[in-house]
Chain A
Amino acid sequence: MALQILLNFVLAFAWMFITASFTPSGFAIGFILGLLLVILMRRFFSHRLYLSRVWAIISLTVLFLKELVLSSFQVFRIVIRPNLNLSPAIFELETELTNDWEVTLLSALITLTPGTLVVGISEDQTRLYIHALEFDNVEESVDSIRNTFEKAIREVSRP
């Protein structure tokens, strides 16, 4: 991914030197032309095109923001309820992610998800211990949300 971006920048600078226009618009045109070249030459790279990974990162960020807003509204609903009537629980969740940064990102995402908070990670980093605000109605939805999160993170880290 880094190699492709670097190549794209080099092509953009080459375009600027060819046309002798050292302006932001000259750079932008060179970058777009270089991008077209990188797309044309994609069968010579060992990894996938970097655009798809950039897109995966953008969609993960949008997912993150959406979950933050949803979880704040859920806490809002619980707090203004006359009778709190909570049923908190700490449950275990196995993850298939292996890299350190992936596990960190997953736990940050889970912490900002409606009604869940990571309170511990096992020594071998395969299990997360999650404190849920309302156990009965949350566990299934948490499972589905976790699947979407894990899938989004795997989509980013796929080579």
Chain B
Amino acid sequence: MTIANILIVFLISTGVIFSLVTALGLVRFPDVYTRIHAASKSATLGVMSILLGVFLHFLMIEGIFSPQLIIALIFLFITSPVAGHMIGRASYMTGIPVADETVQDDLSRVVEEKKKQN
């Protein structure tokens, strides 16, 4: 019982810490692309470990097996990188500039060429 409790507390607090890191990253990072880095990785892991902790709590302490939590976990895992990619792509195509610190930009050349063709 105590091992289960330790595991559940560890998972849920890890999730909360990573969600906090996401929020901090959203405030501190300079441009939209670096913010997507924070939002698409730490948030995924944070919510996933909270869901896993809740699943283990219901399984090991309340004795209820709830497959919805597992399904939610898998859906989140599949969709969140795609969401990050789409937001990044949409903001690049609509011409939102990258931060001043940016060293190299290979994509701008391609977008310019495409605009010339149209």
A-to-B contact residues, CB < 8 Å: 68-69, 71-72, 75-76, 78-80, 84, 86-92, 107-108, 111-112, 115, 117-120, 122, 129, 131, 133, 135
Contacts and interface: CB of A to CB of B under 8 A. Distances in A.
A68 B44 contact: yes
Contacts of A79: 21, 24-25, 28, 38
B110 A129 contact: yes
A87 to B, nearest CB: 5
Interface of B: 17-18, 21, 24-25, 28-31, 33-34, 36-38, 40-42, 44-46, 78, 81-82, 84-85, 88-89, 92, 98-99, 101-108, 110
Contacts of A129: 106-107, 110
A119 B107 CA distance: 9
A78 to B, nearest CB: 8
B118 to A, nearest CB: 13
Contact of A91 (B25, B33, B36, B104): B104
B14 to A, nearest CB: 9
15 contacts: A68-B41, A71-B41, A72-B41, A72-B46, A75-B37, A76-B17, A80-B21, A88-B99, A88-B102, A89-B104, A90-B102, A90-B106, A91-B104, A119-B33, A133-B34
A17 to B, nearest CB: 30
Nearest to A71: B41
